[in-house]
Amino acid sequence: MPAFIRRSGRAGAVAGCLLFTSAILGLSTGVAAAAAGNLEPELGGVAKAPPPGDHWFMSIGFFGGGSLFDADTGEMQGKLNLSRFSSAVALDRKRGRFYVPATYYSRGTYGERTDLLVINDQESLAPVAEVKVPNKLAAVFHRGVIELIGDRFVGLYNMTPAMSVSIVDIEKQSFVGELSTAGCGLVYPLPDRRFMQLCGDGTVQVIGLDRNGAEASRERSARFFDIDEDPVFDLAAPDGNGWLLVSFEGKVFQVSADGGIKVSEPWSILTPEDAEEGWRIGGDEPFAYNAQTGLLFTLMHQGEKDTHEEPGTEIWAFDVAHHSRGYRIALAEPSGAINVSRDADPLLYVILGEPSTVNVHQARTGHLLRTISEVGSANRIQAF
């Protein structure tokens, strides 16, 4: 607060008026000088974001807003305008677009509902188009709610609680239709305009689209996990032409769909000694996988059965090809979410604390490279 405001008595009031009057006169003089051409006016501008690099990630919180960071420098690159119910985005590098599933209410938290796919320009991060979709978008705070399917369509996961997927044609910027997926949820893309879903009966489902975005095929796997005894996490990690799944008890499955759905024989991340010590996988985003190196990362804690939502106190790294653990990282404080970049020299991202920080590790060795402190109240990380 300026000093003259704090003065008491008539002298203080007079001094305050004089200072205020001087400020107004100075401002008027400056405006007049600028008008006369004596001063060069400073004009505002709009910064452009560079193309997203291999080590870009987005931190997402419960209250909307996605902050984009370059993990190589720790610098923030910009912020996407998300709705309070947006939990992931899809990056279209070919078109230079970010696609955001968004739910808005006319009165903020209530009123008429509008669900949209918002198309944002990659350079300005500003909305450039909207596509109205059915008011069914799932607010489940999960990265599997939106994905690109092929190079022309976007799939959006719905839950009302009936489950379905809305298909949007991003070339025409139009809603194509809604596919009923009763008992199966989320959107995990596969080659040839197909996507995989996880189903409550212990199977996975694969749906294929035709050139217009309509359903062309649907296939269901055999049952390979028990939803009561040992369900898989609804999170899936991309594995080249398929997806990697992990169960609550630490079994790892690899699913592909070349010539029919194939599910690998599972292997366990836990040795008998680990199980005896009570180690379990857990968290909001409890594992991440880099397909180019074959490295799997899991958040681990010691707990009883059904503690799969507990944050991790350690990170374990595994060589999937050899089913072997490479290293362990003891965390300074528990973490509920990790992710890893998708390139051949990957970085591992770990959310810690409140307000949140993100630790960036060299994924091959576990070496801590840097800590990014200004990420807000982030509880999820999306890697690009």
For every one of its 384 residues, what pLDDT tens digit does the chain have, with 9 covering 90 and above?
333 233 334 344 333 333 333 444 344 444 444 455 566 766 666 678 899 999 999 998 766 679 999 999 999 999 999 999 999 999 999 999 999 999 999 998 899 999 999 999 999 999 999 999 999 999 888 999 999 999 999 999 999 999 999 999 999 999 999 999 999 999 999 999 999 999 999 999 999 999 999 999 999 999 999 999 999 999 999 998 899 999 999 999 999 999 899 999 999 999 999 999 999 999 999 999 999 999 999 999 999 999 999 999 999 999 999 999 999 999 999 999 999 999 999 999 999 988 889 999 999 999 999 999 988 778 889 999
Beta-strand runs (E) in 10-96:
56-61, 66-70, 75-80, 90-92
Answer for the pair 339, 57: CB distance below 8 angstroms, yes or no. yes
Residue whose entry in the numeric block shows the structure tokens 């509880």: 379
The matching CATH number, chosen from 3.10.620.30, 2.40.50.140, 2.130.10.10, 3.40.50.150, for 86-234 is 2.130.10.10
Domain locations in the chain as residue ranges = 56-75+269-384, 86-234
pTM: 0.87
Distance of CA 69 to the CA centre of its chain: 12
Confirm whether 56-75+269-384 and 86-234 share one CATH topology: yes
How many of the other CB atoms lie within 10 Å of CB of 307? 14
The CATH number of domain 56-75+269-384 is 2.60.40.10:
no
